[in-house]
Homo-oligomer: A and B are copies of this chain.
Amino acid sequence: MEQIVGIVAAVLTAIAMLPQLIKVIKEKKAQGVSFGMVLVLIAGLATWVWYGILKEDYPIIFTNIFSLLVNITLCIFGYIYRNNSDEA
Contacts and interface: CB of A to CB of B under 8 A. Distances in A.
A31 B14 CA distance: 23
Contacts of A16: 37, 40-41, 44
Copies of this chain, whole number: 2
Main SS of chain A's interface residues?
A: helix
Interface residues of A, number: 43
Given A9-B51, A54-B1, A87-B86, A19 B44 contact: no
B19 A23 contact: no
Interface string A1-14: 11001101111111
8 contacts: A9-B50, A12-B41, A13-B13, A13-B41, A19-B37, A23-B37, A30-B32, A31-B32
